[in-house]
A and B are shown apart, each in its own frame.
Chain A
């Protein structure tokens, strides 16, 4: 009886050893060498797998980062400069710091500014609405407010404001991965430099209609009057197709265009409240 037991234990152990040796040999034969630095770089990356860098996930980025020689054009927008510096250090290289960017909504057509003329009751998707019609207001360029950008954001950084019905970007959470830019069928969202202390100036409109038509559709539309182009001392503003565009590389944040814009289409973000303007208002009140 005991010999049967002994024999089976012996057989199984032997079998195990033989198979282990075979497995070891096969593993040696088909071994794929992988640069250990890929793992190191991947460990540094945020692990969001958002695709903002243009690669399929963080592993894809790490793989490309280690394998290519020229890393100057690669950037992880989520991790930012610190992550990039650390990743470059692993490779024994250095990278130039890039200015952080943030998603900017270039439409200010809240119901107050832009009257709804039709009612949409189809599927809740901007992409579908765009394929059906121009939009529920007179402006065929503006935000539809159905939230395709909100659905794609992996960082919970964008939401639809219930009063303005427009998306709002949470600057603290926005990683500038660009998913919302790609998701918007109206091309309203743009990645712009965050600016010093988050100060930025941009044209919050993409309406390419002639002035009268644009103004009729929306009170805060860019009407293409060109006043800002003339005012700008730094040549940062260009006018194309009845639409002004501020180049964020040239803009020196002087805010002269903001004052000049007759419709208020040029927006400023994170500036302290304006002192002289308040005084001016007080003065006019006094004179009245």
Chain B
């Protein structure tokens, strides 16, 4: 048996629990109202363009990108703007949100609503990036970094390979998996568009080996498209981390503090590639996405095509309602996702899944003391020393944390997952990251 590709340092293997893997994407019925936050991406919050009482159509721009690293926001429904107010978001803080009452389903006339595949790409590289910017596309893998920024390669640097992330290494989540199976051709065209935008001739799709159906299907159809290769990767978390994926596919290492473009690569998620297809070929801005709703105790699990701004409680209701024994509702994957403070929060561009956990599953285990087993050191995919960073974080020795490269941590949570003493390692590392970034910022000023 030939060895599957993977990254070299660290990694863990949590139980996969891909319960919803064979449930095809369903379109969620329109909700009664949607709340669309103006900050769904990394960077500056978008500037609101509508006022209370305005009528909006599906796909109409309602908030404009406020700077280079920012993204446009479009209405996901047609109806009346009910209010523009600070509303609780998924972390319990208030964010500026546009609430729209749904009336009918009237789309902007410029959007092509047909489902036929449009293969030929007419736009030039510049126009593609402009269209992606206008459509408000951000990284749909969860990091929500505006996509046009990644595509605008700074002068002096050049990309030679595009990497498409179809790994979906988080347990439970299956939205990318379903998308690859059901929208394979659209995805391929999306990748060709991205290749044209970047002016590269090679694209590699990396998929974890626990999705053999997706790998086989994409391998078959990849023959029709020039320059696209599909690679099966070993099942190891966090294989879907940008740096880990680059290491696995092209065996290059992103320097500490650097970006993938420094070594000639650009990474995009399969969801983003699909959104790019829709934006460029169908003129459809990003206002809906696939969200997995899953959990061992849910009566039925599903993959929904959801309009942005639909409340999480609507999603859970569609999946059979919240069971009584619910301990935690997590936004995102179980490794990196965040527990929700309440379920009346909207689905945003970065929501890849909603997982419902039983109270027994969700409890943290009692902390004990560090026994210096160094498991965290051996599994850290970035080669850091989590036990040390944890101690430094507790004692607030932030300058030393900076020397220990705390900013390289990508918060994958492998250390906390593996720690036999159940220490909250990542909690203190995150604290350190925040404080160190603050120190660096103040140094610059």
Contacts and interface: CB of A to CB of B under 8 A. Distances in A.
B342 interface: yes
Contacts of B93: 133-134, 140
Contact of A117 (B91, B341, B364, B427): B341
Nearest to B430: A131
A255 interface: no
Contacts of B91: 132-134
B431 A134 contact: no
A122 B92 CA distance: 16
A121 B427 contact: no
A118 B364 CA distance: 14
Given A133-B91, A134-B91, A135-B92, A121 B428 contact: no
Nearest to A183: B396
Interface in B375-427: 424, 427
A248 B431 CA distance: 35
Given A117-B342, A122-B424, A134-B91, A128 B364 contact: no
B95 to A, nearest CB: 11
B440 interface: no
A123 interface: yes
Contacts of B92: 118, 133-135, 140
Interface residues of B, number: 17
A132 B338 CA distance: 8
B441 interface: no
A105 to B, nearest CB: 21
Given A121-B363, A140-B93, A140-B94, A131 B88 contact: no
Which of A121, A123, A131, A134 is most buried by chain B, counting CB atoms within 10 A of its CB?
A123
Nearest to B362: A121
B94 A128 contact: no
Given A122-B424, A140-B93, A133 B431 contact: no
Contact of A131 (B341, B364, B434): B434
A115 interface: no
Interface string B336-366: 0011011000000000000000000001100
A132 B341 CA distance: 10
Nearest to B435: A127
A121 B367 CA distance: 11
A128 B342 CA distance: 19
B250 to A, nearest CB: 34
Nearest to A209: B94
Given A134-B91, A140-B94, A125 B342 contact: no
B327 to A, nearest CB: 9
A128 B363 CA distance: 18
Contacts of A140: 88, 92-94
Contacts of A123: 424, 427-428
A135 B342 CA distance: 12
A128 B341 contact: no
Contacts of B430: 128, 131
B88 A128 contact: no
Q: Which of the listed residues B339, B428, B434 has the most CB atoms from chain A within 10 Å of its own CB?
A: B339
A125 B434 CA distance: 14
Interface in B316-345: 338-339, 341-342
Contacts of B341: 117-118, 133-134
Nearest to A121: B364
Contacts of B424: 122-123, 128
Contacts of B428: 123, 125, 128
A140 B339 CA distance: 16
Contacts of A132: 91, 338
Contacts of B342: 117-118
Nearest to A118: B341
B149 to A, nearest CB: 25
A35 B244 CA distance: 60
Contacts of A127: 431
Contacts of A122: 364, 424, 427
7 contacts: A118-B92, A121-B364, A122-B427, A128-B427, A128-B431, A132-B338, A140-B93
Interface of B: 88, 91-94, 338-339, 341-342, 363-364, 424, 427-428, 430-431, 434
Given A132-B91, A134-B93, A140-B94, 19 more contacts: A117-B342, A122-B364, A123-B424, A123-B427, A125-B427, A125-B431, A128-B427, A128-B430, A131-B431, A131-B434, A132-B338, A133-B91, A133-B92, A133-B339, A133-B341, A134-B91, A134-B92, A140-B88, A140-B93
10 closest Cβ contacts across the A-B interface?
A134-B92, A123-B427, A123-B424, A133-B92, A121-B364, A133-B91, A128-B427, A134-B93, A128-B431, A133-B341
